[in-house]
Structure 1
Amino acid sequence: MNHHSNQSHQETDDRLTALHSNTNAIRAIASAVEGTLGPKGLDTMLVDTTGEVVITNDGVTILNKMEVNHPAAKMLIQVARSQQNEIGDGTTTATILSSELLSLAVNQVDRGVPIPKVIMGLKQGIRLAIQFLKQHVRPVEDLNKDWIHQIALIAGREHEDVAELIVEAAKLVGKEKLLDSQFKFADTILAYEGSENELVSGLILKKKKMNPDMPQKIENVKLLVIQDAFEPEEIDDEALGTEIGFSKYLEYKEIFKQNLDKVEQLGINLIAVHRGIDPMAEEFCVDHGIMMIQRLSSEDMKLLAEHTGAKMMKRSGLNKELEELKSYLGYAQLVYEDEKLEKVRVVGGKGKPTATILVGASTGEIVEERERIAKDAASSVQAAIRSGYVPGGGAVEMAISKEIERIREQTRGMEGFGLEAVAQALTKPMAQIVLNAGFNPLEKLDEVKVAQIEQQSDAIGINTDTGQLMDMEQNGILDPALVKIHALKAAGEICEAILRIHTIIRMKKDEDQD
């Protein structure tokens, strides 16, 4: 009898090996970023084999640069990246929630709860958590400075100067543009070593002019944006060796010369090109005082066209008649090369207003971190404008945790264990913030629970300086709702995926035995 129970115990252990291995890998990833959470979070130093060092407090940067071989860990990093790409912030929260939720779910499995039941409970718990979260959202009426500033400040890790820049830029860009899902506010941020903080009403193109003899500054700009190379149509070498091919080559060259004359007739004084530029065109533009910029990124091309009202065209587009070509031109008040930055600035385009946020830093190492901080702040502000905001510091998660616990008490059947895991995992963000600030999470979370119930508030959390209770909303500690919703979804998805991996292994084993 005893031998039989040992054997069945051994089988269960084998079946859980994959699950435990995956869970440990995910815990290891989470432990690399959890120390960075909250205002008292510390930085992580990443070192590569050549000794290059990156010091950062940014979850997604740590995850991106970590050396990871375990498939489950890679999966978690993928989820964090999708959070970064879609929302732009909240990767640390998503990672910590995923790890905690999985650990709690695995504890239930170890206690004998069947995996399908745990998954059902988890899915229900995450669905309820998102539903409750949406009930706690404060909508955004206008770009009133106070709350935007606070969201930028929290996401920008208390960098006051960065928060101010972001707020001013948000006002300049306007609510309509920020609500546009195609527009990424974070893409308007550039950081340069040795530059000052500056909000530029316009664009900074990440290139300098092609030739030092071209004008350094142009007013009343008329520009052409060319999507490919600015050179005659090409003929391959083989064809060039034939008589017909050679005469075609001469014909294309002649057409290109005529097109350069059109450039002069239209009064174009700036040409921006995605690829390279023919030497004949370069010489022509130097002679005629036209500025040229080559090898611009697709992103810069798009922004330039939008801001100046230009329509992008292929080089063959220049074969069109003069009148038709006029509709392709873009206009701006001023274009000049910033000699210090060695970048071209475009000011006062007649298309859509745009802002570029220049973040200054004293050294190369700090530049990258300052840029990351500003991008997080911009993403959070945009997410809040799109989805509203909730009290930060883990307070709203604590409130939701209580609501899920209440439902758990009324739930019969084993799904309740999955609900319990979600309710407990939701207390993790505050626990981690409190721990990083040097206080006892058990004691502090208990105080918060009692205070939230007594005052019927979802905003009470812990002041990380004093360890005392504090109203997060009144003190301006706010988070975009979208960041939280996405982090919850991500945690639920990764948890379910890892739990299912274990199930699939077990099914295959059963088939083999058959």
Structure 2
Amino acid sequence: MQQGSILAVEGERESGDAVRKNNITAVMSIANTVKTSLGPEGLDKMLVDELGDVTITNDGATILKLLEVEHPAAKVLVELAELQDQEIGDGTTSVVILAAELLKNASELVKCKIHPTTIISGYRLACQEACKYINEHLSLPVEELGRECLVNAAVTSMHSKIIADDALFFADMAVEAVLSVKRTNSKDQVKYPVSAINVLKSHGKRAKDSLLVKGYALNCTIASEAMPHVVKDAKIACIDFNLQKQKMAFGVQVLVNEPEELEKIRQREIEMTTEKLKLIVSSGANVLLTTKGIDDLYLKYLNKEGIMAVRRCTKEDLKRIARITGAELLSSLADLDGNEKFDAHMLGHAEEVAQEWVGDNQLILIKGSKAHPSSSIILRGANDFMCDEMERSVHDALCVVKRVLESGMISPGGGAVEAGVSVYLEKLASRLESRNQLAVAEFARSLTVIPKTLAVNAAKDAIDLLAKLRAFHHLSQTDNSKLHLKWTGLDLAAGVTRDNVEAGVLEPTIGKVKCFKFATEAAISILRIDEHVRLQPENKKDPHSYQEAYRTGQLG
């Protein structure tokens, strides 16, 4: 920190090996936090926030999101896990562990006087070749394996979760749910939006009592028992404003001399909301959904008109319902001219809207939505912790099935991809004539951290299993008669190697490719850092500060 100069940087400055060492220490501490939760035998973490709320999970993205991370390099890994969760939905722990290992091995090269720029170019080359090798040699088209591979991919995703014992039951449910929301966009691309699947949680009973419901389930009930419980050929109005007596704006004063005038004001307040309801009813709506409340006075009017009304819906639910039924979610009835109107084209359409008993609760079910199909999963569990973790597990499985269907390619799990790519990159490195050879070799060595961690978490001999795994993949790449050995991965229950395609341990190929790309980019972005400046809070009265000098005229 320099003193006495007006243009000096006021703060703490670190550079060179010191900042690189601090960054790697922070990154490794984050990776070590989630490392023990990787794989089917991984352990759970209990996180308690400042309010005492408890979260029990082994989902990497959830763990990192709940940690209070202050170090800027460690925050890169937290964002990395969030990005993997958004893009793929699974593999968040793997991507963090791989990024940390890449950075640790890069640090060893820097200590040997290899410039970071050389390491970065080598890592980029290795990542490019790795993704190319996965797509060409370690993936299978979904069409060859059929629906069974979708179920197996979902089961693989759930094996490390709390519902591992019932993984097949939930995997089949997840596949049915994703297939039921199939849609084709304007570019003739087939999409499977997970947002069209509503996951609800309900206490009581066991996990296997969870069920799949065709249609969108809304965790609300009708506003009055006098309203119809079933509406066929539903025309749905979605609104985001109060249906209560209109009140004058805060600060407005009205002087009244006669009591009759006061009654007229009250009557006009009632009529203003009634006029809005009449506009909605005249458009042909027979189902009304609102995020706000409905006054008892207007419930009477809706009962008279035979309209089903549901109040206090969440805004997120209404946005989804508007999307699947073709409705418009309106926060006001005002148009550009200042008039209020509600037209029939603003309504959504569905074959039926009904209030039904599902499990122990009554739910509103929207069936046969006209614009897009939808489905809902009702999860049953013993308590809040179990239901929350089940929801995270099912969400991961839904995302995996979606990615498999949209990409159309599947790869073996259990460390098979990492081991195969590691062996391939080692051979590639031996053929390179530049310094990139060292970085590619370190990239290859870093990939073995995934099968090694899987074995350690399963209490197996990691060194022995990894040696066998690498030997099989080396054979598959050198002997054409042993080509089938490229599907070899780990069986963590028995502590042996096996053909994981035949065993049904499958993962979406795009998930592996994205994992490699994201981890490489994160490692490179941290490796680029050679100076760390922590600025001090500005003191306006400090005579040495730039702003104070400018204000007092010292800088002209």
Residues 1:203 and 1:401: Cα distance change in structure 2 (over 3 Å) = same
Alignment-mate amino acid for residue 145 of structure 1: R
2:8 matched residue in structure 1: none
Q: Percent identity?
A: 27
1:383 matched residue in structure 2: 403
Give the alignment of 1:442-457 within 5 angstroms: 442-454=463-475, 455-456=482-483, 457=485
- The one of 152, 155, 170 equivalent to 1:153 is 155
| SS of alignment partner, residue 473 of structure 1 | helix
CA distance in 1: counterparts of 2:331 and 2:70, whole angstroms: 44
Alignment-mate amino acid for residue 110 of structure 1: K
CA distance in 2: counterparts of 1:344 and 1:194, whole angstroms: 20
Q: Deviations over 1:447-467 (max 9, x none)?
A: 112112322332101211222
2:509 matched residue in structure 1: 481
Residues 1:45 and 1:257: Cα distance change in structure 2 (over 3 Å) = closer
Structure 1 residue 176: Cα displacement? 4.4
Give the alignment of 1:5-404 within 5 angstroms: 15-49=16-50, 51-135=52-136, 136-141=138-143, 144-157=146-159, 158=164, 159-174=167-182, 176=184, 183-184=193-194, 187-194=197-204, 196-211=209-224, 213-230=226-243, 236-237=249-250, 241=254, 254=271, 256-265=273-282, 268-277=285-294, 280-313=297-330, 315-316=332-333, 324-325=343-344, 328-336=347-355, 338=357, 340-387=360-407, 388-404=409-425
Structure 1 residue 358: Cα displacement? 1.7
Structure 1 residue 371: Cα displacement? 0.7
| SS of alignment partner, residue 458 of structure 1 | helix
CA distance in 2: counterparts of 1:415 and 1:444, whole angstroms: 29
Q: Deviations over 1:30-88 (max 9, x none)?
A: 11111121222122222345554322221112111223222211221111011112221
CA distance in 1: counterparts of 2:470 and 2:145, whole angstroms: 33
Structure 1 residue 226: Cα displacement? 2.1
1:427 matched residue in structure 2: 448
Alignment-mate amino acid for residue 471 of structure 2: V
Residues 1:338 and 1:289: Cα distance change in structure 2 (over 3 Å) = farther
CA distance in 2: counterparts of 1:385 and 1:242, whole angstroms: 68
Structure 1 residue 253: Cα displacement? 5.9
Alignment-mate amino acid for residue 173 of structure 2: L
Structure 1 residue 140: Cα displacement? 2.6
Indicate conservation of the 8 Å contact 1:101/1:422, yes or no: yes
CA distance in 1: counterparts of 2:354 and 2:226, whole angstroms: 16
Indicate conservation of the 8 Å contact 1:187/1:375, yes or no: no
| SS of alignment partner, residue 503 of structure 2 | coil
Q: Deviations over 1:181-219 (max 9, x none)?
A: 682358532222226311110011233333455444444
More displaced stretch, 311-320 vs 19-28? 311-320
Q: Deviations over 1:264-323 (max 9, x none)?
A: 45553310124444554333224444222234334322322233343444542797889x
1:416 matched residue in structure 2: 437
Residues 1:308 and 1:415: Cα distance change in structure 2 (over 3 Å) = same
Output the TM-score relative to the length of structure 2: 0.80
CA distance in 1: counterparts of 2:94 and 2:131, whole angstroms: 15
Residues 1:147 and 1:299: Cα distance change in structure 2 (over 3 Å) = same
| SS of alignment partner, residue 528 of structure 2 | helix
Alignment-mate amino acid for residue 491 of structure 2: N
Structure 1 residue 476: Cα displacement? 0.6
| SS of alignment partner, residue 375 of structure 1 | helix
Indicate conservation of the 8 Å contact 2:38/2:454, yes or no: yes
Structure 1 residue 256: Cα displacement? 4.5
Unaligned runs of 5+ in 1: 1-12, 507-514
Residues 1:140 and 1:302: Cα distance change in structure 2 (over 3 Å) = farther
Structure 1 residue 410: Cα displacement? 1.4
2:546 matched residue in structure 1: none
Residues 1:286 and 1:140: Cα distance change in structure 2 (over 3 Å) = same
Indicate conservation of the 8 Å contact 2:197/2:375, yes or no: no
Structure 1 residue 117: Cα displacement? 1.1
Indicate conservation of the 8 Å contact 1:186/1:376, yes or no: no
Alignment-mate amino acid for residue 300 of structure 2: E
Alignment-mate amino acid for residue 141 of structure 1: E
1:490 matched residue in structure 2: 518
Indicate conservation of the 8 Å contact 1:221/1:334, yes or no: yes
Q: Deviations over 1:464-497 (max 9, x none)?
A: 1222220011111011112212211221111111
Structure 1 residue 428: Cα displacement? 1.5
- What number of residue pairs does the alignment pair up? 491
Residues 1:49 and 1:225: Cα distance change in structure 2 (over 3 Å) = closer
Q: Deviations over 1:311-365 (max 9, x none)?
A: 444542797889x526634233232154733542222333322111222212221
CA distance in 1: counterparts of 2:144 and 2:235, whole angstroms: 35
Q: Deviations over 1:91-110 (max 9, x none)?
A: 00111111111111111111
Q: Which has the higher helix share?
A: 1
CA distance in 1: counterparts of 2:35 and 2:170, whole angstroms: 24
Unaligned runs of 5+ in 2: 1-13, 257-261, 476-481, 534-556
Residues 1:242 and 1:499: Cα distance change in structure 2 (over 3 Å) = farther
Indicate conservation of the 8 Å contact 2:410/2:508, yes or no: yes
Structure 1 residue 249: Cα displacement? 10
1:438 matched residue in structure 2: 459
| SS of alignment partner, residue 142 of structure 2 | coil
